Structure 1
Amino acid sequence: MIDIKKDINFRYIFGKDSEPNKIALKGLIEAFVDVKVTNLEILTSELSRNIEEAKKSSLDIQARFGTGEKIDVEMQMCNNRHELAQRMAYYGGQLVSSQIKKGEPYTKIKRSYVLFILDFKWIEDEKLVHTYIKKEKEDYTDIPQGDWNPFVVVELPKAKYKEEMNISEEYAFVLKYCTEEKYHDKIELIKQREKGIFYRMKCANNISQNEMEWLKKLEEERYEMDRAQKVENARLEGIEIGLEKGEKIGSLNTMKENIKTMYKNKCDIQFIAKVLEQSIEYVQNVLNEK
């Protein structure tokens, strides 16, 4: 079984425009989002730009329901928590703004959902699924006629196996542990109960050898992109540590703390040196200090 969490595989299984794949995507959406999906249509992953200089955006999966409502489904394995809220807001805004053309009334706009499935913890609690909608600041009443841009966050590390699981817990558990042999029997039981999960596993198992090799090549290319993202995240983490202490990131004490913190978090010496723009020798000397 391939690792469905890897975004190339995720797109291939849930974003393919065939009936089994659409059944799998329908089940995934309904498991995590409070919506009934009918007549699911897979759309292009590219978001249109209103101006030439606007940032080009490519979604993991963009789809539309029979009601005209749209959804962006994102699988995030790389811990990019420093930009995650901004990314969600940008994608949500693009989903809404792309619905109408010049001269058309705003009443044509349909609700758009943004679903982010994370393979890391972002929110400091044990709740598996969080849904954020716009409410009035002081008395927390809903915007009239409902919210037009719900943001749904699913954190897979919070998935735990239980004898009785709801549908969102089942989907999250299968996504998180689909490649782990020790959970094979439990996943088989879940697959027999839930049609969407059955089709998702069927789609994954039906990938040919040629497709597997192609996906592996794309995955290698994606790894280099993720590596660059991790470098940026580590740099931002270092800046954040410095800001919390009220110190400049370039100060000697903060630099040493950053080096030791990154090393404690399993970063290798070469990686630390590159991120903090220090020599390998300097990093090694700091780590050797008592």
Structure 2
Amino acid sequence: MNKTLKELNLEDDFLFAKVMSDKDICKALLEKILEIDIEKVEMVQEQKTIDLLLESKGIRLDVYVKDGNNTIYNVEMQRTKHKNLPKRLRYYQGTIDLDLISKGEDYRKLTKSYIIFICTFDLFDKGRHKYTFQNVCLEDNNIILNDEAQRIILNTKGFMNDLSEELLEFLRYVEDSTDDTVNNAQGNLVKKIHKRVKEVKNDISVEAEFMTLLERDREKIEEGREEGREEAIKQLILKQYSKGLSIEYIADINEIDVEYVRDIVKNNTSKTDN
């Protein structure tokens, strides 16, 4: 059955990017996650593409943010447990850095940056809701490289009481973006986000954009079938699945056998969970 825009949770990257495009909400969430004050958010881009070289792999970022001090924040929603997630973090960091500095420019132009992945799984299975990484000397962990790059992995499946109640409420809301979750919330963060979620879901132009993207994906799958590009078909099926569409609906809109879609989803999940 089709999962409509109104049925999406915040874990669906389309809805997440739309909600985070609101500067005030984006600023409030970043401040809670990083425990810092941000004077002003200057720019928020959703689905920003960085494709620097023909020979290199480009990336598309869910949410790309710049504040008044030129600090860069990249926030991604992750629903599929990939073993290569740490390598993806590394690649995103390198690509963002290359985008910030031109050939011949001084390295001082590389500004402070944060890459934040919000996951619906615990990548490390340690029970934490938040894992923060920065470069530290192995011989003396009191020495920090101070390259001003930090990577944070948040997850909804932690069980430790290791975050503020507002952030824990936010992580619960990611997978259950409903009135019931908001009614049980004590803080203001989830309430602000939910108000924006309802605005997005009731926006006819956003709903049209959502359906257009699904149709575009279906056309790409059809092109891939005609050209015998199995890998392209696989990636687009997984993309649609990550948007919250059911296996049956993906098969229906793309006119593909449901067992074929189920096998792709199952095999991808089994490979990444081992």
TM-score by length of 1: 0.66
Q: Which has the higher strand share?
A: 2
Task: Name the residue aligned to 2:182.
Answer: 187
**In the superposition, relative to structure 1, how do residues 154 and 220 fare at CA in structure 2: closer, same or farther (>3 Å)?**
farther
Larger Rg: 1
Give the C-alpha shift of residue 135 in structure 1: 0.5
Q: 1:148-167 counterparts in 2 under 5 A?
A: 148-158=148-158, 165-167=164-166
Task: Name the residue aligned to 2:84.
Answer: 83
Deviations 1:179-211 (A, max 9, x none): 4x6xx1x52352x632x4333211111133522
Alignment pair present for 1:47 and 2:42: no
SS in 2 for 1:60: strand
> Given the alignment, which residue of 184, 195, 198 partners 2:191?
198
Mapped to 2, the partners of 1:168 and 1:101 lie a distance apart of: 37
AA aligned to 1:115 is I
Q: CA RMSD in A?
A: 3.3
**In the superposition, relative to structure 1, how do residues 270 and 47 fare at CA in structure 2: closer, same or farther (>3 Å)?**
closer
Mapped to 2, the partners of 1:202 and 1:89 lie a distance apart of: 34
> Given the alignment, which residue of 13, 17, 36 partners 1:11?
17
Give the C-alpha shift of residue 121 in structure 1: 2.2
- Contact 1:31/1:171 (<8 A) preserved: no
Task: Name the residue aligned to 1:218.
Answer: 213
TM-score by length of 2: 0.70
Q: 1:110-259 counterparts in 2 under 5 A?
A: 110-144=111-145, 146-158=146-158, 165-179=164-178, 184=180, 186-190=181-185, 193-194=187-188, 196-207=189-200, 208=202, 210=204, 211-218=206-213, 225=235, 227-228=237-238
SS in 1 for 2:213: helix
Aligned pair count?
A: 225
AA aligned to 1:47 is I
Deviations 1:39-90 (A, max 9, x none): 21214611251x32121211001111111110110001122x2221111111
- Contact 2:237/2:261 (<8 A) preserved: no
Mapped to 2, the partners of 1:23 and 1:75 lie a distance apart of: 19
Percent identity, aligned pairs only, is 19
- Contact 2:156/2:171 (<8 A) preserved: yes
Mapped to 2, the partners of 1:271 and 1:201 lie a distance apart of: 32
AA aligned to 1:95 is I
- Contact 1:9/1:215 (<8 A) preserved: no
